Structure 1
Amino acid sequence: MNFFDTKKTFTGRYLKNLTFYVFAAILGGVLTGYYAPGVSIRLGMVSRYFFMVLEMLILPIIFMAIMYGICQLSGIKNARSIVWKTILYFLIISSIAIILGIVFGIAVKPGADTGIDPSRISTSLPRTFEINDTSLSGRLYLNRHGIFLITSIVAGILMNISKGREKFLNILDRGIKIFYTVIKYLYIILPAVIFCNIAYGIAVYGINTLLPLSKVVATVYLADIVFIFGILGAVAYLFKIRLWKFLLGLKEEIILVITTSSSKTAFPLIFEKMESEGYNMKVLRFVIPLGYNFNLSGACIYISVTCCFLIQFYNISLTITDYLWLLLIISVTSKTASGVPGSGFLALIFTLNRFGKIPLTDIALLYSVDRFMNEARSVTNFISIAISGAVISKINSSSKNNDIQ
């Protein structure tokens, strides 16, 4: 079954040429943001509402995809082994990402001797970040993806053991097709959204904002590059996956993630692309949706580095125990970073609130350059999720008990 046909329809042909339209939108956005900043700032509303609508569509798809994936796994003899190996893989990779971020933060010291005068940089935060994470509504909002995840897993298990399993599967099949069709047509306006997003970023932030905090931005990018080509490269080599070829195969999706600053924009596109490369679709439908909640390596690195920046900025002395506690907190709070652009910054605030030893007084300093780190965070999330699907699929195909019932 092909959920996302990009070959036969008008939308399919359009999506195949999406990269060209995206580059044209980027160029137009840069020029508009530079020469017409007043108009560009107002254009920011377009991309903000687009991502709100997109999240409303993709969350149900992930919900249904996990339910569908659980039922599909029941048709694989070693399903229980796949589940435990997936969970173990996510835990190991996420922990390595956090440790790598902390190591780079300590080694590079992006927050030491910055010479930054906070009064010269905007210290106001958008009201969207004024969330009380101690209130019930705040906790529900921050953990909405986790709630969706748990609910979908429970629903998938119940559906799998019910007598009407096949009927439910048919309903899910139709539901996923309907949502994918809606998203395909929504993607027609994606270049226009990217144009607005880029124009807004250039107009509001620009290079002058980047310079005072360029060291923390560079540290995040450096850690992400090492993680992708070092850690994930080693994992890919271990499972006989040619990383560079794998990334080239997903170049359109990676460009989409970079330009929209959201890993979820590529979610509907990744399944067909990976299935065409020979990866097991039954495994992908389980692992990839789960990865969008549990395997956010880019968010782990970003939060780790920025926490180190603030620790050094305020000259705070921490013990090994404190760093271990911080690692544990990041491993939990990073799961809230699966959302629209900016959700990673919200996860950072959530982390600092839980840790309690780093003040939030000048947190707006980091928000002023968060837009520049968002791309690295999102693309690292996406690549890590895609690799996880490939790895677990390889593990399944190499197992002696991989016969499909």
Structure 2
Amino acid sequence: MKPLLKQKTFTDSYLRNLTLYVFTAIICGALTGYYFPEIGRQLQSVSHYFFVLLEVLIVPVIFIAVTYGVSYIFSIKNAFRIVGQMVLYFLIITSVSIVLGLAFGLLLKPGANTGINLAAINKSLPESLLTRITNPLRISNYLIFLFISISAGITIGMYKGKDKILHFLDEGKNLFFKLIKYVYIFLPVIIFCNIAYAISVYGINTLLPLSKIVATVYLACLFFIFGILGLVSAYFKINLWDFLISIKEEIVLVVATSSSKTAFPMIFDKMESQGYDRKILRFVIPLGYNFNLAGACIYLSISCIFLVQFYNISLTVQDYCWLFIIISIASKTASGVPGSGFLALMFTLSRFGKIPVTDLALLYSIDRFMNEARSVTNFIGITISAAIISKLNQNTTS
């Protein structure tokens, strides 16, 4: 694939220095949370309202991207083949990631002999999270939103004057992109608040006994990226390492915010500049954010196994099969802002019914530290899928 002339993106100029800012914010946040816990506890609302604002801006971008992509995909050659390839790829990759998570959990046993003193764990969940959990529409709203976006795309695609509508959507997308870029200037401040709050509320000594499950999630995600995706990429003649280097700024952004969606507005320009088909990118990437969340699958699998081992619960093969199905469904609800993965875990446990949720707050205390792993894995998995499907259909979409 012959790359296009590389365009200068926002991430090339700003995010090149963001790594240093984020590292500094993490150190300062940890020190503030440890030495000044009273201040740290007061910082939760800062990051909460930031991500509320970010979600308000990113959701319209996703709606535009899905609508735009669907309206185009059904008007190009080999459209049904592309859809079939995407569905098959998503099903295989998410299934493999669930099995991988279960395997790592059973092999490394993060929930066995933890020595955790439950009395020392803050068992209360934040009020904002409880509100989202008790809202019955929260779990399904992204799927409803996706259905509306796809329906709008199909409708526009069948309309004869669709070019004017698509031009209007494109202009709207560019406007939201500019707004989001300005919001990203405050990222280091938000990271500082997040870390300070986590350390001040849960404490380093409390978090250390849970480090094994954090390590298990990270190891499984690394194995998935460099093992599973490495093999898949090599099969389709894509150099995984070079590809990751090319999107390193976006990966830093995902790490900084613990949300794969924050890199959503920038990744299109980046991959288009590398020669990947714009029409396929605009179709596969938005849908991947709902149906190809490998990191969420790994996280949910390992967290469930952790709780099974923590409570010494015996499960049958049939139970594991049922757990696999529930995780497959729950992972589709983990596409929101930071914290949505934990909501998906609540959904999984409530539907599975054999794992107590009494002490689930102990997992929430380290959710912020596992969020980076699942978000980066989600993001890399989504971008790789778009690259592969674009490569498979090179010169066949015009």
Shorter-chain TM-score: what band? Answer: over 0.9
Mapped pair 1:283 → 2:277: no
244, 264, 280: which one pairs with 2:241?
244
AA partner of residue 402 (structure 1): T
SS in 2 for 1:362: coil
Distance 1:286 1:128 in 2: 33
Distance 1:14 1:272 in 2: 15
Distance 2:24 2:108 in 1: 36
By how many angstroms is 1:132 displaced?
Answer: 8.4
Deviation per CA, 1:118-148, whole angstroms, max 9, x where unpaired?
1121111112333587x8xx33211111111
257, 261, 265: which one pairs with 2:262?
265
Distance 2:257 2:397 in 1: 40
SS in 1 for 2:43: helix
* Residue aligning to 1:34: 34
* Residue aligning to 2:157: 160
* Residue aligning to 2:18: 18
Mapped pair 1:210 → 2:204: no
By how many angstroms is 1:288 displaced?
Answer: 0.7
Mapped pair 1:199 → 2:199: no
* Residue aligning to 2:102: 102
Q: 1:1-400 residue pairs with structure 2 within 5 A?
A: 6=8, 13-15=13-15, 17-130=17-130, 138-397=135-394
Asked whether the 8 Å contact 1:217–1:372 carries over to 2, the reply is: yes
Distance 1:318 1:124 in 2: 28
Distance 1:132 1:121 in 2: 22
Provide the identity percentage. Answer: 62
AA partner of residue 117 (structure 2): D
AA partner of residue 81 (structure 1): R
Distance 2:392 2:203 in 1: 45
Distance 1:63 1:255 in 2: 24
Asked whether the 8 Å contact 2:120–2:206 carries over to 1, the reply is: no
Asked whether the 8 Å contact 2:72–2:157 carries over to 1, the reply is: no
Distance 1:274 1:250 in 2: 8
* Residue aligning to 2:396: 402
- Count of aligned positions: 394
By how many angstroms is 1:13 displaced?
Answer: 4.1
Q: What are the ranges of 5 or more consecutive residues in structure 2 without an aligned counterpart?
A: none
By how many angstroms is 1:264 displaced?
Answer: 1.1
Asked whether the 8 Å contact 2:268–2:281 carries over to 1, the reply is: yes
TM-score (normalizing by structure 2): 0.93
SS in 2 for 1:140: coil
Asked whether the 8 Å contact 1:6–1:16 carries over to 2, the reply is: no
The 3 A distance-change label for structure 1 pair 254 and 206 is farther
Identify the range of structure 1 (299-308 vs 69-78) with the bigger mean alpha-carbon deviation.
Answer: 69-78
By how many angstroms is 1:266 displaced?
Answer: 0.9
The 3 A distance-change label for structure 1 pair 164 and 139 is farther
Distance 1:178 1:205 in 2: 40
Distance 2:184 2:277 in 1: 26
By how many angstroms is 1:247 displaced?
Answer: 1.1
Identify the range of structure 1 (312-321 vs 347-356) with the bigger mean alpha-carbon deviation.
Answer: 312-321
Deviation per CA, 1:366-397, whole angstroms, max 9, x where unpaired?
11221221111111111111111111111111
By how many angstroms is 1:75 displaced?
Answer: 4.3
AA partner of residue 111 (structure 2): G
Asked whether the 8 Å contact 1:197–1:260 carries over to 2, the reply is: no
Distance 2:138 2:52 in 1: 14
Distance 2:308 2:39 in 1: 38
Distance 2:294 2:397 in 1: 32
The 3 A distance-change label for structure 1 pair 160 and 385 is same
Distance 1:104 1:129 in 2: 28
* RMSD after superposition: 2.2
Deviation per CA, 1:55-76, whole angstroms, max 9, x where unpaired?
1111111111011011222343
